A = this chain, B = another copy of it.
Amino acid sequence: MNPIDIQVYVTDIGRRAREASRHTARAATAAKDAALLAAASAIRREAATLAAENAKDLEAARSAGHDPAFVDRLALTPKVIESMAVGLEQIAALPDPVGEMSDLRFRPSGIQVGKMRVPLGVIGIVYESRPNVTIDAAGLCIKSGNATILRGGSEAIHSNRALAVLIREGLEHAGLPADAVQLIDTTDRAAVGALIQSPEFVDVIVPRGGKSLIERISKDARVPVIKHLDGICHVYVDDAADLEKAVRIADNAKTQRYSPCNTMETLLVDRGIAPRLLPPLGRIYVDKGVELRGCATTRELLAAAGLPCAAATEADWATEYLAPILAIRVVDGLDEAMAHIARWGSAHTDAIVTEDHSRAMRFLREVDSASVMINASTRFADGFEYGLGAEIGISTDKLHARGPVGLEGLTSMKWVVFGSGQVRS
């Protein structure tokens, strides 16, 4: 399409979404749940169609020379198809956040003032290769009363089209407007530009994907963005830590999985406990194939235990490895640990391991990250683990939603006033 046609196309989708959002905002809980369950059924019924459409994307990806990891992310295996259906059923089972009223208080004027949770309106989701995001994101938006405009990766276009048809079938089955979920059905990149610069049609953009996508969208957007940048997560093992807990948490935070954003990338160890902690912990990491990069003290202690450790540079403190590599630094106490986190961290998730109550509470209060933990693995920073039921992403922003974003993050609070004829004097 030429640039003018793209603008016309996206504007038309935006108008339809805005109109549909008026209906979904007032939709009954039962109707929204019925739409989600009907879409889940349709996904199971059309598993073969989905696999056939997905095969086109997979073939194109292989021909284009994409690596196996990329092709894997693109694949709608029977397991992925079933998990999409189950995901919609789980969202249907969650409480409806819309319309919740809270903090209703009478004021001296006689009015009663409180807040009501309402949908944000129209949510734009821009994502990369995984086609299951089409269903997960649409499901969360439907339940939270929002309309959604989806823009998936061009490599997944056949899969995404087939999935969008099924979720729209679910909406129609429940008497809701199909346009509550729309797919931008062009692989033209200009469509993303048009979408993220249309505050009249889009209330918030949620980018899902690699850092370059998110940075590009944040830079160009004229619509608020709920985003996730780096996950440079720290565990600080205090002098007063329980050694056994410290080993267990530091091991789990790094090695339970290497690629998630909530995996520890830098271990900070107090000088007092380092000689007792680092040799046994270093042995665990080395046995699991984790490459260690440490400060001078760390290297001395590990070398004395016969363990390899490269010299860390400042670049290591600033890197999200997403791989079996760990930076380690010995620090002089809590203040130096918190200063390191403030200087090098990404405000995602940071944990302290200590039995000292005052230091634990200082760390909890003073570390300015989306999730701050005492004596627990950073790997817990997750919508399911936090009890949100589902998550659309993890935000490293400070405004609006912070950390794991579930249904509530897709809503806002308006003020409601109950009066009986009051006027202002």
Do A421 and B379 touch (CB < 8 A)? Answer: no
**How far is B239's CA from A113's CA once the two chains are assembled, in angstroms?**
25
Do A366 and B398 touch (CB < 8 A)? Answer: no
Q: Which residue of B lies closest to A106 (CB)?
A: B387
Is A313 an interface position by the 8 A CB rule? no
Do A368 and B25 touch (CB < 8 A)? Answer: yes
**How far is B404's CA from A113's CA once the two chains are assembled, in angstroms?**
12
Least CB distance from A404 to B in Å reads: 7
Do A414 and B371 touch (CB < 8 A)? Answer: yes
Is A111 an interface position by the 8 A CB rule? yes
- A105 and B22 contact, Cβ closer than 8 Å, known pairs A365-B99, A423-B252: no
Which of A30-38, A130-138, A242-250, A276-284 binds B?
Answer: A242-250
- A421 and B342 contact, Cβ closer than 8 Å, known pairs A109-B385, A365-B99, A416-B372: no
Q: Which residue of B lies closest to A413 (CB)?
A: B402
Do A365 and B256 touch (CB < 8 A)? Answer: no
Least CB distance from A39 to B in Å reads: 25
- A422 and B25 contact, Cβ closer than 8 Å, known pairs A105-B387, A224-B224, A400-B399: no
List which A377-398 residues lie within 8 A (CB) of chain B. 377, 379-381, 385-387, 397-398
List which A93-150 residues lie within 8 A (CB) of chain B. 99, 105, 107, 109, 111, 113, 116, 118, 120-121
Do A420 and B375 touch (CB < 8 A)? Answer: yes
Do A377 and B249 touch (CB < 8 A)? Answer: no
Report chain B residues within 8 Å CB of A256: 423-425
Do A412 and B422 touch (CB < 8 A)? Answer: no
Partner of A417, one of B224, B368, B374: B374
Q: Which residue of B lies closest to A253 (CB)?
A: B423
Least CB distance from A200 to B in Å reads: 12
- A417 and B372 contact, Cβ closer than 8 Å, known pairs A224-B399, A422-B380, A423-B377: yes
**How far is B368's CA from A120's CA once the two chains are assembled, in angstroms?**
9
**How far is B361's CA from A26's CA once the two chains are assembled, in angstroms?**
11
Q: Which residue of B lies closest to A98 (CB)?
A: B365
Least CB distance from A232 to B in Å reads: 16
Is A272 an interface position by the 8 A CB rule? no
Is A369 an interface position by the 8 A CB rule? yes
Do A375 and B415 touch (CB < 8 A)? Answer: no
Least CB distance from A202 to B in Å reads: 11
Report chain B residues within 8 Å CB of A3: none
Is A316 an interface position by the 8 A CB rule? no
Is A403 an interface position by the 8 A CB rule? yes
Do B342 and A415 touch (CB < 8 A)? Answer: no
Do A402 and B398 touch (CB < 8 A)? Answer: no
Least CB distance from A229 to B in Å reads: 11
Do A417 and B376 touch (CB < 8 A)? Answer: yes
Do A371 and B421 touch (CB < 8 A)? Answer: no
Do A373 and B424 touch (CB < 8 A)? Answer: no
Do A399 and B204 touch (CB < 8 A)? Answer: yes
Do B111 and A380 touch (CB < 8 A)? Answer: yes
Do B424 and A377 touch (CB < 8 A)? Answer: yes
Q: Which residue of B lies closest to A342 (CB)?
A: B22
Residues of A within 8 A of B (CB): 22, 25-26, 99, 105, 107, 109, 111, 113, 116, 118, 120-121, 203-204, 219, 222, 224, 242, 244-245, 248-249, 251-253, 256, 342, 351, 362, 364-366, 368-377, 379-381, 385-387, 397-400, 402-404, 412-425
Other than the given A120-B399, A402-B412, 19 more pairs (CB < 8 A) read A22-B366, A25-B366, A26-B362, A107-B385, A109-B385, A242-B421, A253-B423, A256-B423, A370-B414, A370-B415, A371-B417, A372-B416, A373-B419, A374-B417, A374-B419, A375-B419, A375-B422, A380-B424, A399-B399
